[in-house]
Amino acid sequence: MSANKIYSMLGLATRARGLVSGEFAVDKAVKDGSAALVIVAGDASKNTKKEFSDMCSFYKVPYYEYGTKDELGHCMGKEERASIAVTEAGFAKSIKKLLSGSEA
C-alpha cells in the first residue's frame, strides 16, 4: 500500500517538474544543491549505488534505494530509470516520510 503512495508521489512530482532522472541530471542536481532527495533503484549496479551514495553523503542529500529501474521509470511515464532526484522540497519531505515508514 505504501509502495503505491510512493510511486504516486513520484508521478505527481514528475508532472509538477519537481523531479529529474538519469545519471547526469541527478549528478548535476546533487552538485548544484537543487536535489532534496535521491532515490536509486535496488537493481541498479553496485557502481551506481556506491557513486550516488558517496556523492549524497558528501553533499548531505538524503539517499534511498527503492524499487526497481522498471518501476521507477514506469511511475514517471518513461523508460527504465536507475536514479532520480526530487528537487521540490514539499514532495521530497512527503516521499522521505513514506520511504522511512516503509523501511521500518
pLDDT tens-place values along the chain, 104 residues long: 467 899 999 999 999 999 999 999 999 999 999 999 999 999 999 999 999 999 999 999 999 999 999 999 999 999 999 999 999 999 999 999 999 885 43
pTM, entire model: 0.92
Sorted by where each starts, the structural domains of the chain and their CATH numbers stand as: 2-103 (3.30.1330.30)
Helix, strand or coil, per DSSP, at residue 1: coil
With a CB cutoff of 8 Å and minimum separation 6, the contacts of 89 are 36
